[in-house]
Amino acid sequence: MVFYIIGLGLGDHLDITVKGLEAVKTCKQIYLESYTSILGINRLKLQEFYGKEVIEADRECCETGIDEILQNVSIDLQNNYAFLVVGDPFCATTHTDLFLRAVKLGIKVEVIHNASIINAIGCTGLQVYRFGETVSVPFFTEKWKPYSFYPKIKANLDHNLHTLVLLDIKVKEISEENLARGKKIYEAPKFMSTQIAVQQIIESDKQLGLNSIDEKTKCFGVARVGFETQKIVSGFLHEFLDIDMGPPLHSFVICAKELHPIEEEMFQFYRNNQQKID
């Protein structure tokens, strides 16, 4: 018996590796994690491609139901199971925790890797080894505005490193009001755009008084990486307040203060390309 944690890559159902597909075909049950990211196709399309049922593992399942799943796996010595992850399995803490829980139960775990935004961000032309710590920007609310991510951006800039900014997604969330009333009513899915992210980044810099960004800060916006509709735009930070990157998912990059000549050439290429489209 093997418990597979399989990366699906960034695009559609065809992005799974041959090794991953062969593993899926041997499995009794297949779970699709839909909490930390989303796949560009629906679950039914995967079922049709695999010829097997695919069970959605939403936020509730990942946070409260995963122990029961692993317990069932641990006592079944005859069958294989698969947990499908958008991108690469080890690019989210949730999946590392899943790995550790399974191992502690004595389950044999095999991880099959794939592309993720962490390495695919090289599509901007920025050198991947020049990136510092990745940051995640959550949706601000009237009562909750965590600026804690921003000092990490400043630290990267101070060390002349790029920053990959991952943008918040909210899927199957329950509002505070419904939660207080005990009503299990889910809000509509919500995906942060680069425009909202930039607004919050500028606000954070201002509120913390760090003055780490200005009108000369170079950035990249990327959307739907891995799909035919992939979009890459370069420009200065404040320009992204007015740039519509289209449907999700979006990611953002704040460039290091100094660019390598090839990086600068790629920055100008995508900037000129966007101007032609406009």
- CATH no. for residue 110? 3.40.1010.10
Number of structural domains in the chain: 2
Cα(30)–Cα(147) distance, rounded to whole angstroms?
38
**Co-location of 46 and 122 in the same domain:** no
Whether 40 is in a domain gets the answer yes
Across 86-95, 207-216, 249-258, least confident range: 86-95
pLDDT at 176 over 80: no
Cα(92)–Cα(230) distance, rounded to whole angstroms?
22
Across 17-31, 38-52, 198-212, 226-240, least confident range: 38-52
**Co-location of 178 and 54 in the same domain:** no
- Looking only at Cα atoms, what is the longest distance across the chain? 61
**Co-location of 136 and 74 in the same domain:** no
Cα(120)–Cα(89) distance, rounded to whole angstroms?
15
Strands 169-170 and 190-191: antiparallel
Whether 233 is in a domain gets the answer yes
- Sign of the C-alpha dihedral, residues 79, 85, 87, 89? negative
pLDDT at 172 over 90: no
Whether 215 is in a domain gets the answer yes
CATH of the domain at 221: 3.30.950.10
For residue 166, report the phi and psi dihedrals to the nearest 5 degrees: -90, 135
**Co-location of 197 and 212 in the same domain:** yes
* Residue 228 near residue 173 (C-beta atoms within 8 A): no
Cα(220)–Cα(251) distance, rounded to whole angstroms?
9
Residue in the block written with tokens 């641990």: 74
Cα(112)–Cα(210) distance, rounded to whole angstroms?
41
Q: Domain of residue 94: give its range.
A: 2-115
* pLDDT in the model for residue 57: 82
**Co-location of 26 and 163 in the same domain:** no
**Co-location of 68 and 93 in the same domain:** yes
- Between 215 and 123, name the one with better pLDDT: 123
* Residue 189 near residue 159 (C-beta atoms within 8 A): no
* pLDDT in the model for residue 187: 75
Helix, strand, or coil here: 82? strand
Last residue within a domain, chosen from 115, 146, 162: 115
**Co-location of 10 and 36 in the same domain:** yes
**Co-location of 128 and 245 in the same domain:** yes
Whether 277 is in a domain gets the answer no
**What is the average pLDDT across 171-199?**
82
Whether 175 is in a domain gets the answer yes
Last residue within a domain, chosen from 85, 115, 145: 115
**What is the average pLDDT across 204-225?**
96
**Co-location of 78 and 181 in the same domain:** no
Whether 134 is in a domain gets the answer yes
* Residue 140 near residue 124 (C-beta atoms within 8 A): no
Last residue within a domain, chosen from 83, 115, 147: 115
* pLDDT in the model for residue 39: 65
Whether 190 is in a domain gets the answer yes
Helix, strand, or coil here: 163? strand
**Co-location of 104 and 219 in the same domain:** no
**What is the average pLDDT across 211-230?**
94
**Co-location of 264 and 133 in the same domain:** yes
Helix axes 66-75, 93-104, angle to 10 degrees: 40
**Co-location of 142 and 255 in the same domain:** yes
Whether 13 is in a domain gets the answer yes
